[in-house]
Amino acid sequence: MIEASHLSRTYTRGDGTPVTALRDVSLAIAPGEFVVIRGASGSGKSSLLNILGCLDTPTSGSYRLGGENVSALSDNERSHVRSKRIGFVFQNFNLLPRATALENVELPTLYTGAAPDHARARQLLAQVGLDGRADHFATELSGGEQQRVAIARALMNDPPLLLADEPTGNLDSAAGESVMQLLTSLQREGRTIVLVTHDEHVASFAEREIVIRDGVVASDTRRRERVQA
Amino acid sequence: MIGAAWRSLTRSKLRTFFMMLGVAVGVAALTALASVGEATRQETLRQFKRMLGTFDTLTIRPGAGSTRGMPSVSTVEPSLKFADGPAIAEGVPGVLRVAQVQQTFDLDVSYRDESVVPLVLGVSSNWADIRDEAVASGSHLTEEDERALARVAVIGADVASVLFKGEDPLGKVIRIADVPFQVKGVMATRGAGPGGASLDNMLVIPVTTASKRLFNRDYLSTLVVQLRNEGDSDRVADDVRALLRERHRIIPPAEDDFTVSSPRATLAQIQQVGSTLSKIVTGVAAIATLIGGAVIMSLMLIGVSERRREIGVRRAVGATRADILAQFLAEATLISALGGAVGIVIGAGGATVGALLQQLPPAYMWSMIGGAVALSLAVGIVFGLYPAWKAANVDPIEALRS
């Protein structure tokens, strides 16, 4: 699914000095894997996630997603890759506050050129346990509910890859637990899940742990055997 | 796209209201002013037409310079002679016929105990025909009346109603400065002239009678030259001028002792004044619309910075820069177009009220209304473009980090 080789990412500070966030990172993630990326803040894990999510491009190195070299694509082409092949789940949910749960779930279809599939959106809301909340505004939902709406939104265009950045960071433990259960069930459907976290308990749901330190891969360990679908 | 823009706008109603306000005010002002101006212009044209009868004429008055006001035969220079009329009719090509007029305002006209002081016109018998004047009853003056110095009069509707109070005036004898005249016709109502004064407080008598039996003057206050072809007006005016200078033995550098004017030129002058005024007013309204655009731009810019996270989310789920640009541009254009629509409705309403207050038939300047629609769309696009461009260039990574 993911083949990254020799990724580097250098930013230029306001005063013109270069800052290296990622240094020669290579990693491969197979389809259906559940991988957690850990690291202190400033370690470069966010830079890595931005590149894996096609929000950013590496300064050097190549990134192949599903066999296609996406590190060389234009801004527009990367938008299309994000639209079709990547689902994002954020720490702060990032729902549109003045839209309903259903409208939030349907948002990704706005940019595919296809007509919104209301039935699929409702089915996804049911899958995340929110079939009764479709017409509630995002602001009327609890944090756990908002994050589940966000997961349904990430699934709307049926992407093979889900990227989650501290998805439980703003949730209480019960809500966090149910979100992790949901992500685990999505892995069983065959989706590849890459999750960034500080939380050891959250990391325990993953089968593989990559630690980033100072812009390089410090360790890459298998925590347990692959969960079979 | 429009639906999404609409939903976004309805969710912050107060801001949307203020964004629409400027454009609405500007467009309303444009529409109302242009329409009131058009109604006034049309009315001025109608009044002129009523006063002059036709536009295919030249008017010659004695004296140089100012042609303003209505000269009276007792006050004008005695330079325009009766014989100048036929001389112009025969000597200048393109002239169909020439009417001779003596006029005065200061004669008492009475019937029994009633009296009025109307405009008294001594006219040649072709005058009514040149001006296309109609009689409501009786008949016009004839060549025979003119030749015989007949004491007959055709009276205006106001004179008829004041003197006769519903009695049939035909055949009755009125006294003009104590000279008895028989009423042989009543003119059809002519309405108001420029400035709104009635054109019906008048009567006409044969110019010969006027000259010999009433005014005792052998010169004219006006010659009305009817053209064969209205387009010839400038050339005929030059020829008439040359002929009259010769007949009056005026040698350069002496100036003309008469003035030739064309109703078209006078009308154009008056409308020029109106149009300068309306250009200024239109400019002010256009500036108001532009200020509305600037309000849209600044509120849109605030909106863009407030909605950075929304932009980041949309970009993350697959929106291209062009999608974001189009979304914000659609919002700005929709706001501006709605503001424009509101403005047109208010403006047309204002124009109708304005016209009714002036007791004119309302006129809507459709070209200006079309222009206002185009203007409001253009304002939305032009002033929405920069905020939309800012929105499209929001860095999704930055926007999502917060």
Asked if residue B209 lies in contact with residue B149, where contact means CB atoms within 8 angstroms, the answer is: yes
A159: nearest Cα among A229, A91, A83: A83
Chain A with chain B: Cβ pairs closer than 8 A: 63
A137 interfaces chain B, CB cutoff of 8 Å = no
- A227 falls within a domain: no
Please state the rounded mean pLDDT for residues A56-70.
93
Task: Please calculate the CA angle B199-B200-B206 and round it to the nearest 5 degrees.
Answer: 100
- A228 falls within a domain: no
Residue with the larger pLDDT of the pair B55 and B15: B15
Q: What are the tokens at B253?
A: 């550098």
CA distance to partner chain A, nearest, from residue B12 (Å):
10
Global confidence as pTM: 0.71
- A229 falls within a domain: no
Question: Of B11, B316, B323, which has the smallest distance from its Cβ to A88's Cβ?
Answer: B316
A108 interfaces chain B, CB cutoff of 8 Å = yes
CA distance B252 to A33: 110
Chain A, nearest residue to B393 by Cα:
A75
Question: Is the pLDDT at B270 greater than 90, yes or no?
Answer: no
- A194 falls within a domain: yes
Q: What are the tokens at B347?
A: 């403006």
Q: Do B400 and A94 touch (CB under 8 A)?
A: yes
Question: How high is the mean pLDDT of chain B?
Answer: 85
Question: Is the pLDDT at B8 greater than 80, yes or no?
Answer: no
Chain A, nearest residue to B322 by Cα:
A76
Chain B, nearest residue to A80 by Cα:
B318
Asked if residue B334 lies in contact with residue B10, where contact means CB atoms within 8 angstroms, the answer is: no
Task: State how many domains chain A has.
Answer: 1
**Packing angle between helix B308-316 and helix B263-306, nearest 10 degrees?**
70
Q: What are the tokens at A229?
A: 């679908």
Q: Do B316 and A53 touch (CB under 8 A)?
A: yes
Q: Do B318 and A84 touch (CB under 8 A)?
A: yes
pLDDT digits (tens, 9 = 90+) for B202-237: 999 999 999 998 888 889 989 999 988 877 888 888
- A68 falls within a domain: yes
Question: Of A79, A83, A90, which has the smallest distance from its Cβ to B400's Cβ?
Answer: A90
Amino acid at B100: Q
CATH code of A189's domain: 3.40.50.300
Which pLDDT belongs to residue B314?
Answer: 94
Which pLDDT belongs to residue B29?
Answer: 84
Q: Do A55 and B316 touch (CB under 8 A)?
A: yes
Question: Of A56, A79, A88, which has the smallest distance from its Cβ to B319's Cβ?
Answer: A79
Q: A159-163, B243-247, B263-267: which has the minimum mean pLDDT?
A: B263-267
Q: Which residues in chain B are closer than 8 Å to A90, comparing Cβ atoms? A: 400
Which pLDDT belongs to residue B67?
Answer: 47
- A74 falls within a domain: yes
Chain A, nearest residue to B8 by Cα:
A98
Say which residues have a Cβ less than 8 Å from residue B400's Cβ, sequence separation at least 6. A55, A90, A94, B309, B312, B313, B316
Which pLDDT belongs to residue B18?
Answer: 86
Q: Which residues in chain A are closer than 8 Å to B313, comparing Cβ atoms? A: 94-96, 107
The bridge status of strand B173-176 relative to strand B109-111 is: antiparallel
A77 interfaces chain B, CB cutoff of 8 Å = no
Please state the rounded mean pLDDT for residues B261-278.
74
pLDDT digits (tens, 9 = 90+) for B55-91: 788 888 888 765 455 667 667 788 888 999 999 989 8
Q: How confident is the model at residue B191 (pLDDT cuts 50, 70, 90)?
A: confident
Residue with the larger pLDDT of the pair A169 and B73: A169
Side-chain half-sphere CA neighbours of B136 within 13 A: 16
Q: How many CB atoms lie within 10 A of CB B251?
A: 7
Q: Which residues in chain B are closer than 8 Å to A95, comparing Cβ atoms? A: 313
A83 interfaces chain B, CB cutoff of 8 Å = yes
Q: Which residues in chain B are closer than 8 Å to A84, comparing Cβ atoms? A: 318
Q: Which residues in chain A are closer than 8 Å to B402, comparing Cβ atoms? A: 92
Among all chains, which residue has been given the structure tokens 């001779």?
B100
Which pLDDT belongs to residue A185?
Answer: 93
Which pLDDT belongs to residue B70?
Answer: 62
Asked if residue A194 lies in contact with residue A52, where contact means CB atoms within 8 angstroms, the answer is: yes
Q: What are the tokens at B339?
A: 């503001």
Q: How confident is the model at residue A229 (pLDDT cuts 50, 70, 90)?
A: very low
pLDDT digits (tens, 9 = 90+) for B161-189: 999 988 899 999 999 999 999 999 999 98
Q: Which domain holds residue A119?
A: 2-222
| Full 3-state SS string of chain B | CHHHHHHHHHCCHHHHHHHHHHHHHHHHHHHHHHHHHHHHHHHHHHHHHHHHCCCCEEEEEECCCCCCCCCCCCCCCCCCECCHHHHHHHHCCCEEEEEEEEEECCCCEEECCEEECCEEEEECCCHHHHHCCCEEEECCCCHHHHHCCCCEEEECHHHHHHHHCCCCCCCCEEEECCEEEEEEEEECCCCECCCCCECCCEEEEEHHHHHHHHHCCCECCEEEEEECCHHHHHHHHHHHHHHHHHHCCCCCCCCCCEEEECHHHHHHHHHHHHHHHHHHHHHHHHHHHHHHHHHHHHHHHHHHHHCHHHHHHHHHCCCCHHHHHHHHHHHHHHHHHHHHHHHHHHHHHHHHHHHHHCCCCCCCCHHHHHHHHHHHHHHHHHHHHHHHHHHHCCCHHHHHHC
Question: Is the pLDDT at B193 greater than 80, yes or no?
Answer: no
Residue B91: C-alpha distances to residues A162, B84, B85 (Å): 100, 10, 10
- A9 falls within a domain: yes
Which pLDDT belongs to residue B166?
Answer: 83
Q: B4-8, B26-30, B243-247, B379-383: which has the minimum mean pLDDT?
A: B4-8
Question: How high is the mean pLDDT of chain A?
Answer: 91
Which of B2, B8, B317 is the best mutation test for A, with the most CBs of A within 10 A?
B317
Please state the rounded mean pLDDT for residues B282-302.
86
Chain B, nearest residue to A156 by Cα:
B317
Question: Of A82, A96, A98, which has the smallest distance from its Cβ to B318's Cβ?
Answer: A82
Please state the rounded mean pLDDT for residues B237-245.
90
Q: Do A76 and B315 touch (CB under 8 A)?
A: no
CA distance A31 to A27: 13
Q: Which residues in chain A are closer than 8 Å to B303, comparing Cβ atoms? A: none
